[in-house]
Structures are given as structure tokens and as C-alpha cells.
Structure 1
Amino acid sequence: MLKRQIILDTETTGINPKEGHRIIEIGCVELINRRFTGHNFHVYINPEREIEAEAIAIHGITNERLQHEPTFRDIAQRFFDYIQGAELVIHNAAFDVGFIDHEFSLLKPTLPPVASHCAIVDTLKLARELHPGQKNNLDALCRRYDINNSHRTLHGALLDAEILADVYLLMTGGQGSLNLAAEEHIAQHDVVNTLTIARNGKLKVIKANVDELAAHEGRLDLVQKKGGSCLWRN
């Protein structure tokens, strides 16, 4: 059975939707059975209001940049259809879900709250459970899990979702695998049938190189740091 997860992030005009602040960017990365599919979702949105200077300092997005972008009502149904039924993976989920629910409530007709049609995983809560008493923002997690985020000079919804996807996979045991039939049909979310491959003769054995062995040892170190059992070292 396929498990569909959406790693999601937003950028906004300010920090509180109750004060009239709006979403200006949505970035989503799709995983199916813990594999990247490339079927992502990314939009910039005209908030129809001014963006606070403090917010611009964080994400660098100005009203001038957004003046010709669609409004939320223009993309709402497409976004809803994209996330519906998926498990959403979000860092500090209460913030992003609060904004999305606020945007849904402004529509006529409204759309239902996110939690009514999606499961939600908060990676900030997960990180605090795994690393109590430590910094657990996205930059700190990248340092902890040795993820290169040097290109992240400003916040951006799609970029942050891509980085969070890497962090989440490492925090929860690494990237999964799919059979070949699943990979062929994954973008369309078709029913996956097991593909049997007939092989003649001997299989070619390809041994890991030095860099691959080092990466493997690094992954085992992470497993042990999280209290896991490494069968390869028993």
C-alpha cells in the first residue's frame, strides 16, 4: 500500500492570521513510501495587503514581487486537491496549519480545516522528543544531520520544504524503497503491482566504493545516536 506524504512550508505577510496576515508562498514536496516523486507544488500568492518589513527581512518577498501573482482563492481548490488525504509533514505545524485554515475560512464557499482531510506530523515536536534541551530549528537540524543548507540565505517555502524532507527522512530512519512498478506509476498514484524480473546467468556484483562505505558508516552513527540497534555492527 502506498503512503503519500507532503512536506509543506509557507511564507506569510506576518506572524498572526488573526491580525489579517496572509500566505504569500506555499511549497510542497511529495514523498510516496519515503521516496521523492518530483510531483511537487509551489506557488507565490498575492496577499492583497502589505507585507510587514520584519517578514520581508526573513523571506525577502516584497509586494512588488507578488503584484501579478494569483490570489489564494485562485489556487485554493488546486492546493486542496493536492494535499487531500496525504500525511502532511510540517516544522512547527501549528503556524502553517493555522494560516491555511484561516485562508480556507475566507473562501466562499469555505474549505474544511486541514486536520479534517489530512494527518499532520509536526517535525518540531518530533525533534524536541529526539533532542531534548537542544536547538531544533531547521538550521540547527541541518547541522545535526550534516545536511548542506549553505544555499539557504533567506527563507523560502519550496527550498525549506526540500530541506525539511531531507531532515525528516534522516530523523525517521532514512529513505525507503519501491519496486520498479511503483516507480513507473508513482506520479499518477496508480495501483502498484509487483514486477517480477527474470534474470539469466549470474548477477553482477557491484561493490561499494570508499565514499559509499563512509556514507554508510555515517548513517549507522546516526542510528546509534538515536538509540537504534545497528545489525551491521553486531
Structure 2
Amino acid sequence: MRQIILDTETTGLEPSQGHRIIEFAGLEMVNRKLTGRSLHLYIHPERDIDPDAERVHGISLDFLADKPRFAAVGPEIADFLRDTELIIHNAPFDVGFLNAEFERLGIERIDTLCANVIDTLVMARDQFPGKRNSLDALCDRFEIDRSNRTLHGALIDCELLGEVYLWMTRGQNSLVMDIDLDVGGGADLGALEFERKPITILRPNAEELTAHAAYLDELDKAVKGTCLWRSLETPPPAEPQA
């Protein structure tokens, strides 16, 4: 299944108050590898941008003056997302804005347009309860370089989130998961017997034994007695039984 790592920037916090998307970014991933296909758009919101929001992402209305309205790019975004699994940090925020924008255009909602939504914030809270789980905090936890992230931006946040998602989902693979076992339907895998190959033992040659003995002699001199290794090699005689 295609996965899309997705992020948006907006004019404010609440689509119910008429706030709009001003930046959309999505990176395509297949089999845990980025394909190089992406969609990145700046969008004129047809309204003012809240000063608090602008301080976060640094996108001004002047910058967006010549950018397309959502009505012009909404169908392209919907086609890019169709039948995919979305990977989003704090998914309700971005999904809420996309649903509001799509509804204005008569486009189906995310829950029917896409196959699934993975919220990496929920995943992080499950894996690291009681800890900070912002994107910045997760990058620091996984030692992901975020030096280029001076402001929030949809595209760079997608790139960072992709790395965070791979770290959180890499896990421990089964030691036998790649073995093709033709055991027939209903076979009890726990009853399978695997052949153990004999352990190869490499014994020292005469030159190596001589060098080892010389090394132990030096240890004896250093401890002014018998070094521990010699006592292990030559255990003391057993006590006579009464």
C-alpha cells in the first residue's frame, strides 16, 4: 500500500472558525522507502492569517498573494491522497482542516478517500508515556538532525516525520520470518525441528601454546604468585574423602 507522510500549515487553529490551509506537503512512501514522488503547495487562504500562527510557520499573506486558491488545487490533493495510508503527527488537526476544505468543494472526506490514517503522536504517547512527544522532541530522542527546522514548515516537517515514523516502527523482526517453510495447512510450527550444525572448534597450534605460556609467566611475575588463569587451567586436586 502507498503511504503518504502528510503535514499542513494553516491560518489558525480551528477550521470551524473559518481558518484555512495555506501550505500542503505530502511525501510518498512504498515498502518503507521514499519513492521521490511528492506534492508541495502554497495556497492563498482568502482570509487573514492569525499573528500567532504566522509566528510559528513564518508564512505571510503577502507571500501567498500570487498562490492558487484551494478550489484550484483541491482535486489534485485528493487524487494524490486517494486509497493511501496517511502518516500524520497529531492527525485530527490536519484531517479536520482537509475535511473542511474538501467539503467546500464537494470532495469526499478523508475517512472514505483514504484507506487509513496513522497518528504518530498517538504512537509516541503509547511508546513514551509521560514524556514530551512533539516532533522536535522525537527528533531529539532518535538523534535526527533538525538543524534546518528554524520554523514550522509542511515539507521539512514531512521529511522529519518520515524518519521518526521509521524509527518508531522498525522493531525486532522474527529470526525465522524470511524462511520459507512448506509445512502444509494447519501445521504446528512449534513442533518443527531444526537441524543444529556442529560447532567448529579451532585448537591452538604449538607456536600459539608457547606464546600463551610465556604470557602467563609474565602474569605470574606481575602478581608474585600464580595468576588466576593458571588456577583455572589447572584446578586444585580434590579433597580426600574421609
Aligned to 2:168: 171
Give yes or no for the alignment of 1:113 onto 2:96. no
Paired with 1:159 and 1:131, the residues of 2 have a C-alpha distance of 24
The 8 Å contact of residues 9 and 22 in structure 2, kept in 1 or not, is answered as yes
The secondary structure found in structure 2 opposite 1:27 is strand
Shift, 1:117, TM fit: 2.0
Q: RMSD across aligned C-alpha pairs, in angstroms?
A: 0.8
Paired with 2:50 and 2:8, the residues of 1 have a C-alpha distance of 15
Aligned to 1:230: none
2:23 counterpart (25, 31, 34): 25
Larger Rg: 2
1:47 counterpart (40, 45, 48): 45
1:1-234 → structure 2 map (5 Å cutoff): 3-107=1-105, 110-118=106-114, 119-173=116-170
Paired with 2:84 and 2:29, the residues of 1 have a C-alpha distance of 10
Is there any run of 5+ residues in structure 2 with no aligned partner, and where?
172-242
Amino acid at match of 2:162: A
The secondary structure found in structure 1 opposite 2:22 is strand
Paired with 1:78 and 1:51, the residues of 2 have a C-alpha distance of 24
Paired with 1:74 and 1:159, the residues of 2 have a C-alpha distance of 24
Runs of 4+ in structure 1 displaced over 2 angstroms? none
The secondary structure found in structure 2 opposite 1:139 is helix
Give the share of equivalent positions with the same residue, in percent.
Answer: 50
1:75-103 CA-to-partner distances (Å, cap 9, x unmatched) read: 01111000000000000000000000000
1:49-76 CA-to-partner distances (Å, cap 9, x unmatched) read: 0001000000000000001000001001
Paired with 1:172 and 1:71, the residues of 2 have a C-alpha distance of 36
Paired with 1:115 and 1:156, the residues of 2 have a C-alpha distance of 25
| Number of residue-to-residue matches in the alignment | 170
Shift, 1:106, TM fit: 1.1
Instruction: State TM-score, norm by structure 2.
Output: 0.69
Shift, 1:14, TM fit: 0.2
Is there any run of 5+ residues in structure 1 with no aligned partner, and where?
175-234
Amino acid at match of 1:114: I
The 8 Å contact of residues 24 and 42 in structure 2, kept in 1 or not, is answered as yes
Paired with 1:139 and 1:160, the residues of 2 have a C-alpha distance of 10
Shift, 1:115, TM fit: 1.0
Paired with 2:120 and 2:84, the residues of 1 have a C-alpha distance of 16
Aligned to 2:190: none
The 8 Å contact of residues 78 and 113 in structure 2, kept in 1 or not, is answered as no
Amino acid at match of 1:147: I
Paired with 1:117 and 1:104, the residues of 2 have a C-alpha distance of 10
The secondary structure found in structure 2 opposite 1:98 is helix
